[in-house]
Each structure stands twice: as structure tokens, then as C-alpha cells.
Amino acid sequence: MKEDINYIIAKELSGNATMEEIEILRSWLGQKPEHRIEYNFLRLNWIQKNESIKGSKARVFDRLAANINESEKSKVRHLSDLRPGVGAFWLKVAASIVLVSALSFLFYENYFKTESKEVVKNEIITKETPKGVKRQIVLPDGTDVWLNSGSSLSYASGFTDSSRIVRLVGEAFFEVTKDPKRPFQVESGDIVTTAIGTAFNVNAFSKSSTSIVSLTEGKVKVEYISKNEAVYLTPGYAAVLNKKSNQLDARSFDIEEDIAWKDGILVFKNAAEEKVLRDLENWYGVKFTLQNKSPEKWDLTTRFENESLEHVLKVIGFKAKFNFQIEDKKVTIEYLSN
């Protein structure tokens, strides 16, 4: 596991980690305070030691060997005198520096065979939206992105001369600036969506059983990496990946239901309880607790435009026959007996 984390850290520092690997790294960082300290130490060392790829391999490896110099060893020995276990921890940190630096060097060799000035300037930027918050982003090429609640988008501060690649967890709508020489790609888990100039929505929340790419303008290619399959979409069609069956299919979709969220409109059509509550949690940044089970299956069709949570719950509660109570970010629902 430790070797896997070092490998992921190396990819993250080199700007090549997938969104799934970033999620694994975030989970690891949250497990122990020591993990966050170790990561920050490695990142700081990487930034301080970063240099041009134009340098010879000999100089690079000299740098790697120098990552644990006599001064740093002295610091580790000094830290080990503080209390039991601390020295061992920092020894692991120091060892990780060499491993992460070496792995990062390999990633530079394999992925960045370009001028060093391009590598240095292309910082990875990550935009995140907590639940209950949406935002609009303009990418370096002028592409407009609407990022839904509970989502994150990562991209380079400057795209290369041959490609434009972003990584998405959650949901976003893209209006892509046309550039035939540089295809625009959205990586979202096992799905890669490629476009030149078009408008489409990607719904790829990690906890959802499906990933959906819905096209409104232009043409896109949607690839399912794990099975080396692809579908080409025309406006009005969506590519749907069923994560349970590992099937990628194309179907028509309802534009309002799938994309109205970016205009502040919440739409439900024949929606089940699970979907409605999950969408409301994400939309308003709350958490639902059910006191009992619904006496009947939900089949909700309704539409809300910039309405308060209280108003939305009153409407839905009347149809689904429940009372509710809102306390800060917690909502309790109790179904009425027949």
C-alpha cells in the first residue's frame, strides 16, 4: 500500500494522476495527520528540487542522491530524540522523498518529452464546488465550464500545442472553444469524451451507478477505456455507461432534465425516492435522515426554478405524503401513515 501511495504521489506531483488516483490520495491524506505532514514535506521538497529536463541524467540522479544529505540525516537523528516513533516516521519520509523523486523523474521522461519551460509553466489547477454551490469557470483556451455541486475539475494552467485535457469528478457542462488542431478531452473515471468545438454535459459522480455524456451541439466521441469501446454522439443523444454491467450504450435524452441544472432549474421526471433525495442533498448541501419508509414507490415529476429548500420539500412532501424538519444542514423526513 505504501508503495502504491508513493506511486500516486509521484503521478500527482508530475501532473499525470487520474481523478480516481487523486481520490485515493485524498482518502489516504484524511486517514492520519502524519499522512498530511508527509505529503506536504514531499511536495515542498519536490518544488524546491524541481529543475529543467534539459539537465543531464547524471545531474538529475545527483539531485536524487542529494535529497538525503548529511544535514537532513542530522535533522532526522535530532527528531528521533524527541519521542519514540517520531524518528522512524521521518526516516520513512526521507526515504519516500527519494522514491517519489525517482518516480517523478521517470514520469518526466515518459510523458514530458518537450521543452522544460512548458513543464514548469503548466501548473495543475483544481476547482472544487462543495455541495450546495455551483460555479462557472473559463479555461485557458476560452472554453466555458459550468461545474455542478459536489464536483471537481482539474486542468493545466496552459494547454499544450497538441491537446486540451481536463479531469472531472462529478458533473459539468462544457461549451468548448473550437480548435481543430487541439482536440478537447474530458477524463471522467473510465470515460474519455473527445470534442473539437461543441457543447455537452458530463455526469460522472463516483457514487452513481452510471456515467452519462449528453450532447447538445456538435459531435463527440465517448470512449470506455476498460473495454476499448467507443460511441459517437450527435445532438440529442447521450452515452450511458452502466457501471454494474460494464455496458456503454447510446440513447436519446431529455435536455431539460439532464442540463437545466446549469441555469438554476431542478427537474425531476418519473424520479424515484433515492434520486430525488440524492439530488436535493447535492443541490442544497444538506443531509437527509428518514424516520421510516415510504408507504409507496416514488414516481415524481416536477420542476423548480431557484426555489428555497423549504418550498421544494413542501411541494414534494404533499405528493409523497411526508412531514419534514430542517435544522441547519440536516433534514429529517417522516412519512405519514395511511
Residues 6+ apart with CB under 8 A from 6: 96, 99, 100, 103
> What does 62-84 look like in DSSP terms, one character per residue?
HHHHHTS-HHHHHHHHHHHTTST
Q: What is the pLDDT of residue 103?
A: 53
CATH number, domain 122-257: 2.60.120.1440
**pTM here?**
0.60
Long-range contacts of 44-52 (CB under 8 A, 24+ apart): 45/97, 45/101, 46/13, 46/100, 46/101, 46/104, 49/101, 50/120, 51/116, 52/116, 52/117, 52/120
The three cell numbers locating residue 263: 441555469
Separation of alpha carbons 32 and 167, rounded Å: 27
Q: How many CA atoms lie within 13 A of 12 on its CB side?
A: 20
Rounded to whole angstroms, the Cα distance separating 22 from 166 reads 13
Amino acid symbol at 161: D
Q: Which tens digits make up the pLDDT trace of 93-126? A: 555 555 555 555 555 444 444 433 334 456 889 9
pLDDT tier at 220 (50, 70, 90 boundaries)?
Answer: very high
Which residues make beta-bridge pairs with 242?
210, 247
pLDDT tens string 184-218: 999 998 899 999 889 999 999 988 889 999 999 99
Secondary element (H or E) of residue 221: strand 220-224
pLDDT for position 248: 94
Between 126 and 80, residue with greater pLDDT: 126
- Rounded CA-CA distance 206/282 in Å is 13
Residue 59 has pLDDT above 50, yes or no: no
CATH number of 264-335: 3.55.50.30
> Which parts of 21-156 are beta strand (E)?
124-129, 135-138, 144-147, 151-156
Which long-range contacts (C-beta less than 8 Å, at least 24 apart) are formed by 262-265?
A: 262/134, 262/146, 262/148, 262/173, 262/201, 264/305, 264/306, 265/303, 265/304, 265/305, 265/306
CA 36 from chain center: how many Å? 19
Residue spans per domain, the chain: 2-120, 122-257, 264-335
